[in-house]
Amino acid sequence: MECDIAPPAIENLAVSFKDLGFTAKDKTVTAAICIVELFGEFSGDYNYLSDYELGVFKQLGTEPRRKSFLLGRIAAKMAIARIQGSKPLNKIEIKNGVLNQPIVEAEGKPGMQISISHSEQTGVAAAFPHNILFGVDIEKLDDGKLETLQKMSSKDELKLALPGISPLQKFTILWTAREALSKCIKTGFSAPFPYFEVKTLTKESWGVSGDYSNFSKFKFASIKHKDSILTYCYAGQLTVNS
């Protein structure tokens, strides 16, 4: 699968993709994850934003919030273009639902969903069809956050063994797995935090897989991307083909 639309002409912007194939009830569906990394500051115009998005952007008060917004929107639009084909990025519009979940409005091709995350200089988004559940999260590995991540883990999560994986990676995986689930079911953390408890962690050749204590029909996969942990959550009825 190729994306035949170029990313915005922004200096020091790197764009990469991870394509995932799933089988659901004998049908194959595809999700595309786009990772956008900025090595510097944003410059130039914002012609990749719709009028609505540009209005939202101008109302954001701080530079970190503006940067996160742009990284997330670029990743989302590129992921959608990866699946749907060429389309001017400003014709792909991302709005927010009642629980602040992202909603896609793209001319001519309805039915696409999106999940967005960002961490410092990196934005990530997953585009996927309306008939599956999927969520993505990314978090930079930060030694300064280890104690906080441990305190936010349950007693059973603290006992989970993950040989060969550092404590920082383990607890960052747990955090991103909860975040990805909250996005997958489109509630955010409006539900009580303990509901998102991780039940198992399994080391794989490509990273770490796992599932949840209270959402038995969902699974997750975590991979290390440079200095960050990228985790995606999906309904367990799906079989991952790639």
Q: Is the pLDDT of residue 27 over 80?
A: no
Is the CATH number 2.30.29 carried by domain 137-240? Answer: no
Q: What is the mean pLDDT of residues 4-17?
A: 77
3-class secondary structure, 84? helix
Flag whether pLDDT at 3 surpasses 90. no
Contact at 8 Å (CB) between 1 and 18? no
Residue type, 233: C
Q: Residue 190's pLDDT band (boundaries 50, 70, 90)?
A: confident
Task: Provide the mean pLDDT of the chain.
Answer: 89
Mean pLDDT for the stretch of residues 234-238 = 75
Q: Is the pLDDT of residue 140 over 70?
A: yes
Report the pLDDT value the prediction gives residue 180, as an integer from 0 to 100. Answer: 97
Instruction: Check residue 164 and give its pLDDT.
Output: 92
Are 142 and 119 spatial neighbours (Cβ–Cβ below 8 Å)? no
Q: Quick check: do 13-132 and 137-240 share a fold?
A: yes
CA distances from 213 to 87, 173, 199 (A): 41, 15, 5
Cα–Cα distance, 187 to 170 (Å, whole number): 24
72 — pLDDT class (breaks 50, 70, 90): very high
Burial class (CB in 10 A: 0-12, 13-18, 19+), 19: middle
Q: Reply yes or no on whether the pLDDT at 23 is more than 90.
A: no
**Distance separating alpha carbons of residues 147 and 156, to the nearest angstrom:** 17
> What is the predicted pLDDT for the residue at 147?
97
Q: What is the pLDDT of residue 123?
A: 96
Residue 157, CA distances (Å) to 141, 143, 190 in order: 19, 19, 21
Helix, coil or strand: residue 159: helix
Please name which of 88, 75, 79 lies closest in space to residue 14, comparing C-alpha atoms: 75
**Is domain 13-132 annotated with CATH 3.90.470.20?**
yes
- The per-residue pLDDT for 228 is 96
For residues 229 and 122, the answer to whether their CB atoms sit within 8 Å is no
Tokens 């050749």, located at residue: 205
Backbone phi, then psi, for 221, in 5-degree steps? Answer: -135, 135
Per-residue pLDDT averaged across 148-170, rounded? 96
Average pLDDT for residues 28-51, to the nearest whole number?
Answer: 88
Q: Is the pLDDT of residue 92 over 70?
A: yes
Q: What is the pLDDT of residue 132?
A: 86
pLDDT at 233 over 60: yes
The residue among 221, 44, 234 whose CA lies nearest residue 129 is 234
Token code pair at residue 214: 């209270």
Handedness of CA 213, 189, 160, 237 (dihedral sign): positive
pLDDT at 143 over 80: yes
pLDDT confidence band for 125 (50 / 70 / 90):
very high
Domain ranges of the chain: 13-132, 137-240
Question: In this predicted structure, what is the pLDDT of residue 109?
Answer: 55
| Percent of the chain's residues with pLDDT above 70 | 91
Averaged pLDDT for residues 215-219: 94
